[in-house]
Amino acid sequence: MNSGEFSGTDVSQSDLHAMAYTDSLTGLGNSHRLRDKVRQLTLERADDPAPFAVGIVNLDGFKPINDLFGSQAGDEILCQVAHRLKACIPDGATVTRHGGDEFAFLFPLVFERKGAEKVAQMLREVLSAPFDLGDRNVRLSASFGLAIHPFAGEDFAELIKSADTALYRSKRRGRGQVTVYSQEIAQEMKRATHLEQALRDAITADQIDVHFQPIVNLKNDLVVGFEALARWCDADLGYVSPAAFVPLAEERGFIDALSEVLLRKAAEAALSWPKELFLSFNLSSAQLVDPKTSLTTLAILNRAGLDPRRLELEITETAVMTDAMTAQKIVGELRAAGVRVSLDDFGTGQSSLGRLRDFTFDKVKIDRAFVSRISDDRVSEHIIKAIVAMCDGLHLEVVAEGIEDFSEALKLKALGCGMGQGYFYGKPADAVATMRFLTERYLRVEPEAAFA
């Protein structure tokens, strides 16, 4: 064997090594490359251990873009993201593709939290500019999780785990957030995990309850339906707010199990009500991206024996925006079966008028943020007046949420708002109290005292 043959073998081995450390799509290094860089830096600073930072960035809303425009378009966006990040990371820093729509960083000259936040915010701005897909532009936001060595971990595995925990916290807070790992965050995540397990156990044991809040016709104060609301009182944790456990179930991927239990119990309770009363139930954003939602919902109604025409599903604009095409299909299937659909929290989203154009709704619920200020804020009053007039023209029913006193109810009546709900007309009550109320005062509400 001659020297040229040896040279060829060396080149092949070098190429194989490079391939093992390179992401084939973007040309960036991969997780193996980042791991080696972190180990090398740790060894270099062994005698004088100066801090450094690692980070992970996740593209918010990438999956719907991928589903809508295809995997080729998704790959193109990932390549553009890689190009931007590589072009603007600080001197001496490394960016790699962590997998999927995530990228990872090593910042040797970032020593503390504020510095990490500053560089992440700069990268977030870079990624907020439109991405070019030829005949169209798309925008994405990005969430960041960062960890400082050695405080968040001594080795690569611990640092990446801490950065991932921080990223998860960013995702919980919404889109485009930046979080640097801390012991406080670790404790918060630990509490969330404990709460998650307790909630899963409660669902399995059928210990989640449903309460019902009346919805009234504002012209005559007669009850026309009830909104079902989740309630949970744990033996060890005590009362847990739905504002805490419902988002947690959605984030951890078991909102469907929680929702199925709640809808079953609500539908069974509604069977005992007068047939002209409807049941209002909330769908989560996770359910609006699951094509099986309409079939699951109708199956639960069928097993309970509740007429689909008595069910009204509330969806928020934020939930619709996650995957508009799938949501539109789900809404269409449910309405075809007789279920009515309501747009909840109207006025608080980014493009509510567009949703009314693109989707077919039966009802709009005015967010309590406007209702609570109607008595002393002319702007809120005019907004509600405009919403009522618009919905009248579109043949949509209107419900005002969060009515808490007589003056608010009076104003809404004067503005022509058709329906309302809130503590003024009744607090949420369990199925037994709701049935007792209907038996004693069928359809007539005494404001404030009805559910006392």
Residues 270 and 366 both lie in one domain = yes
Q: Please choose, from the candidates 127, 129, 137, 154, the residue with its C-alpha nearest in 3D space to the C-alpha of residue 52.
A: 154
Count of structural domains, the chain: 2
Separation CA 116–CA 56 (nearest Å): 12
Report which of residues 5 and 252 the model is more confident about. Answer: 252
The more confident residue out of 420 and 367 is 420
CATH number at residue 315: 3.20.20.450
Co-location of 173 and 240 in the same domain:
no
pLDDT tens readout for residues 147-172? 999 999 889 999 999 999 999 889 87
Which residue shows structure tokens 């999780």? 145
Structure tokens at 125: 């701005």
CA distance 259 to 246: 9
Tell me: do 171 and 244 sit in the same domain. no
Q: Is residue 187 part of a domain?
A: no
Task: Read off the pLDDT band of 447 (50, 70, 90).
Answer: low
Task: Kindly state the tokens that stand for 286.
Answer: 């996770």
Contact 451, 437 (CB under 8 A): yes
Give the confidence band of 6 by pLDDT, cuts at 50, 70, 90: very low
The SS3 call for residue 219 is coil
Radius of gyration of the chain (CA): 27
How many C-alpha atoms does 267 have within 13 Å on its Cβ side?
25
Q: Confidence class of residue 440 from pLDDT cuts 50, 70 and 90? A: confident
Give the residue, 377 or 384, on which the prediction is more confident.
384
Residue 100 CA to residue 60 CA, distance in Å, equals: 12
pLDDT at residue 450 tops 50: no
How does residue 17 score in pLDDT terms, banded at 50, 70 and 90? low
Burial degree of 73 (CB within 10 A; 0-12, 13-18, 19+): middle
Q: What pLDDT, on a 0 to 100 scale, did the predictor assign at position 49?
A: 78
Statement to judge: residues 171 and 199 lie in one domain: no
Encode pLDDT of 178-224 as tens digits: 999 998 888 888 888 899 999 999 999 999 999 999 999 999 999 99
For residues 100 and 211, state if they share a domain: no
Distance CA 309, CA 369 (A): 30
Amino acid making up residue 333:
E
Cα 425 to Cα 5: distance, rounded to the nearest angstrom: 88
Please report where in the chains the tokens 């579109």 appear, as a residue: 394
Domain boundary among 181, 207, 230: 181
Above pLDDT 70, what percent of the chain?
91
Distances (CA, A) of 40 to 34, 46, 108: 10, 10, 11
Considering the domain architecture, whether residues 61 and 155 belong to the same structural domain is answered as yes
What residue type is 129 in one-letter code? A
> Which residue matches tokens 């080795």?
155
Mean of pLDDT over the chain: 89
Give the separation between CA 237 and CA 51, rounded to whole angstroms.
Answer: 39
Distance, CA of 218 to CA of 223 (rounded, Å)? 9
- In terms of residue numbers, what domain contains 65? 13-181
Tell me: do 330 and 232 sit in the same domain: yes
Tens digit of pLDDT for each residue in 98-151? Answer: 989 999 999 999 999 999 999 999 999 999 999 998 888 888 999 999 999 999
Q: Is 189 within the bounds of a domain?
A: no
Please state, in angstroms and as integers, the Cα–Cα distance from residue 39 to each residue in 21, 48, 107, 399, following that order: 15, 15, 13, 60
Instruction: Report the number of secondary-structure helices (H) and strands (E) in the chain.
Output: 17, 17
Predicted confidence band of residue 5 (pLDDT cuts 50, 70, 90): very low
Q: Does 370 share its domain with 320?
A: yes
Residue 410 lies in a domain: yes
**Counting beta carbons within 10 angstroms of the beta carbon of residue 373, is it exposed (0 to 12), middle (13 to 18) or buried (19 or more)?**
middle
Residue 4 lies in a domain: no
pLDDT of amino acid 377: 84
- Give residue 135's pLDDT: 81
Of 167, 192, 136, give the one whose Cα is nearest residue 54: 167
Domain co-membership, 216 together with 175: no
Give residue 375's region: left, alpha or beta (phi > 0; psi -120 to 50): alpha
Structure tokens at 276: 């002209």
Which tokens belong to 86? Answer: 């590589």
* Span 32-58, pLDDT tens digits: 999 999 999 999 988 887 899 999 999
In a domain, 451, yes or no: no
177 in Cβ contact with 143 (< 8 Å):
yes
- Segment 380-392 mean pLDDT: 91
The pair of structure tokens assigned to 255 is: 């909102």
Cα torsion at 208, 327, 418, 309 (round to 10°)?
Answer: -70
Q: Of 181, 203, 223, which marks where a domain is finished?
A: 181
**Picking from 173-187, 191-205, 281-295, 357-371, which range would have the lowest pLDDT averaged per residue?**
357-371
pLDDT confidence tier of residue 12, bands split at 50, 70 and 90: low
Band of pLDDT at residue 11, cut at 50, 70 and 90: low
416 near 388, Cβ under 8 Å?
Answer: yes
CATH number of domain containing 142: 3.30.70.270
Q: How confident is the model at residue 319 (pLDDT cuts 50, 70, 90)?
A: confident
Q: Which residues of 229-264 are buried (b: 16+ CB within 10 A; e: fewer)?
A: bbbbeeeeeeebebeebbebbbeeebbbebbbbbbb
Residue 445 is assigned to a structural domain of this protein: no
134, part of any domain: yes
